[in-house]
Structure 1
Amino acid sequence: MATLATNGDENEERHATMDWEQLSYAVIPTDYMYVMKSNPDGTFSDGALVPFGTIEINPHSSVLNYGQGLFEGMKAYKTPTGEVQIFRPEENAIRMQMGAERLLMASPTVDQYVDAVKQVVRANMRWVPPHGKGTLYIRPLLFGSGSVMGIAPAPQTTFLIFTNPIANAYKGTSTSLTLLVHHSLPRAFPGGTGGIKNISNYSPVFQVGKEAKAKGFSDVLFLDAVEHKYVEEVSSCNVFIVKGDKISTSPTAGTILPGVTRKSILQLALELGYQAEEIRISVDEFLEADEVFCTGTAVGISDVCSATYMDKKVEFKTGENTVTRKLFETIRGIQNGLTEDNRGWVVKID
């Protein structure tokens, strides 16, 4: 799918030549990744860019035996003027630190995290799609690479970042989602790890997600684990409802991931004059919403055109002249450099 091109001079910077119109969510290895390992005292130092490739890991490592690992998701965007920027990377760094505390792992500082992300994006700059054609997905990982035998946290942690160009698979309100509300199987339990990006949070929902897609649904919306009554989260994104001028989303409370896009939308909604609240939403209230949308790094802001619960299908307003569209255009403008960022959310890659 991708080839390397030069301008005739071997000393000139090579760039990726791709059919960006055909870009999808396929695996596309880029040139470099970033690797940094923790010191015995739990600090990090001496991280470096290395050529992208396989890594060696001891069979005794805690991540292989006990799932001690976290991941983050971010994107690098190319602006209309050709600049490259990332969106609120410090928030991802803080969320990784929260997850690391929960799983007893050493984690990089916010400055180390952001600097590493900037380095790996800069090194893979030729893989950032042209403006409007996609983004460079950034995947930071933190995992227990140290060896253990008994059930215990790893003595060493590895911080690794790789990148992959991806399409605008979710183009805001141009691709509406259809959700199946699962009434029995919860995604997360109180006291568990639903509130962090633990690597083991996601594979348990593969089966129900596959079954839902086989029935024609885009994804699954899960309810709370105690009463099976309150809306929590979709497989990999947060969910909002709109009723009149009120925008609501469920409180994180340990079972819902505190999404960076979610946090940004709550702030933008208030700035745009809407009421914005974090409140428990019953499935009945959810089905009575005017609009529903999902937020996340992958989905951005994607509207939901319908949801089905216990064989009852409800349709929601989508398209032009919706609150969802207004929020989508607002945050997309900031991320893609179409709108001036006056909140300090955007970090330029020089």
Structure 2
Amino acid sequence: MIQRTIRFHKLVRSLGVASSLSPSSKNLGVYRCFGTVASPNAEQASDPFEDSYDLDKHEYADVDWDNLGFGLVQTDYMYVMKCSNDGKFEQGQLRRYGNIELNPAAGVLNYGQAIYEGTKAHRKKDGNLLLFRPDQNAMRMKIGAERMCMPSLSVDQFIDAVKQTAQANKRWVPPPGKGSLYIRPLLLGSGPILGLAPSPEYTFLTYASPVRNYFKEGSAPLNVYVEEEYDRASRGGAGGVKTITNYAPVLKALTRAKSKGFSDVLYLDSVHNKNLEEVSSCNIFIVKGNVISTPATSGTILSGVTRRSIIEIARDHGYQVEERVIPVEELSEADEVFCTGTAVGVAPVGSITYQGKRMEYRTGAGTACPQLYSTLVGIQTGQIGDKKGWIVEID
């Protein structure tokens, strides 16, 4: 305890925080200062996390875990890495969570040159952390970077950044069964550029926030509205990659739908306006008997990591899974509908409204959704043995 206290006071002195605080304090909210301490010097504000500080596996931040939603909770650290002029990323480092500085002419601000990912860390009962398929997020970011004319860090660099971010913010990972730590890697054009062209400099950063249910309905079935006026993505566009430019355009339709009491919006293809694409923030599946169908990712639909995982899990459970074009009319014939995504997990859909007609679906016990969700979460949290090599454990 003496050695640990010395390390703690060394850390708080480097942060400029009153050293009267004790690492054994029950009021763990005092650590919130890590993300808000001001520094007159940008370099001083980027001091890396001290490896000597040994956070106990079962220490927790001062959070009401029972009422956790899907909103930003400021944590302690973020990870930052810059891209040099030769297109190679330098060694990244952990910095205290805080604002970043951008030139007004930065490519991301003027031309939307940026992509992002989303993954989660779960806490096991023994205190260790589990990451779910971070290599898939890394490879998807590489594909997205190529589409957006950006250099990309390697898969190993990406995974290392995610691991460091999770470890440094470990006390913000909810207790088992209370949620997860949502980790958001971002790659953005941070260099100044006036004419339309790729940015001359890039920044990769990763931050995190503890979360629970994405939708305000919690685990209750969603009520979805089929959008016919606005498109989410068009053929030849960037709908198949996770660029930031895909999301602001859906806000108009989403806000309108929510004002009418709907949970989210289901978009149709931009060419024929008759085939299912995806929901604003997740992929969609329909179930008819033993057959589960989902729209094929043909360039306008994001290839979700959760989507890919659920397809494999469903086949393991004996379902026939089809990736194909799905006409909107098939919604009236489906027994069950559900959505998948890193943020939403596997969410049941209770109803879909299309052209004024409300179609209702089976939910709850005996349906595919809870069965698939239970298996997915079991693997993600370590309650089910990982036989697929999907889990990365951090002690």
| Interval containing the TM-score (normalised by the shorter chain) | over 0.9
Aligned length: 347
Task: Map 1:69-148 onto structure 2 (within 5 A).
Answer: 69-148=114-193
Match of 1:275 in 2: 320
2:346 and 2:70 map into 1 onto residues whose CA distance is 17
1:295-306 alignment runs, 5 A limit: 295-306=340-351
Instruction: In structure 1, give the amino acid aligned to 2:162.
Output: V
Q: Verify the 8 A CA contact 2:213 2:219 in the aligned structure 1.
A: no
TM-score norm. by structure 2 comes to 0.85
- What's 2:303 paired with? 258
Q: Determine the C-alpha separation between the residues in 1 that align with 2:61 and 2:218.
A: 30
Larger CA deviation: 169-178 vs 23-32? 169-178
1:32 aligns with one of 73, 77, 80:
77
Match of 1:322 in 2: 367
Q: Are 1:151 and 2:168 matched, yes or no? A: no
**Alpha-carbon distance change, 213 to 171 in structure 1, aligned in 2, over 3 angstroms:** closer
Match for 2:358 among 313, 330, 335? Answer: 313
Correspondence list, 1:224-239, <5 A: 224-239=269-284
Distance 1:92 1:103, change over 3 A: same
| 2:369 counterpart SS class | helix
Deviation at 1:174, TM superposition (A): 3.3
Change (3 A) 1:8 1:314: closer
Could you say what the CA RMSD is over the residues aligned between the two structures, in angstroms? 1.9
Gaps of 5+ in 2: 1-20, 32-52
Q: Which sections of structure 1, spanning at least 5 residues, go unmatched? A: none
Letter in structure 2 aligned against 1:73 = G
Higher RCO (C-alpha 8 Å, min separation 6): 1
Larger Rg: 2
Residues 171 and 302, structure 1, Cα contact 8 Å, conserved in 2: no
CA contact (8 A) 1:238 1:294 kept: yes
Report the Cα offset of residue 40 of structure 1. Answer: 1.5
Rounded to whole Å, the distance in 2 between the matches of 1:70 and 1:230 is 26
Letter in 1 for 2:258: K
- Per-residue CA deviations over 1:180-220 (Å, capped at 9, x if unaligned) read 01123211000001001110111111111111111111000
After superposition, the C-alpha distances for 1:18-47 in whole angstroms (9 at most, x for unaligned) are 221121223211111000011212111211
Q: Which amino acid aligns with 1:29?
A: Q
Shift of 1:144: 0.5
1:5 shift after superposition: 7.4
1:166 shift after superposition: 1.1
Whichever residue aligns with residue 99 of structure 1, its letter is: G
Q: Which has the higher strand share?
A: 1
Q: Give TM-score, length-normalised by structure 1.
A: 0.95
1:63 aligns to 2:108 (yes or no): yes
Equivalent of 1:332 in 374, 377, 385:
377
Going from structure 1 to structure 2, the CA distance change for 1:287 and 1:58 (only over 3 Å counts) comes to same
Mark the CA change 1:275 to 1:172 in structure 2 (over 3 Å): closer, same or farther.
farther
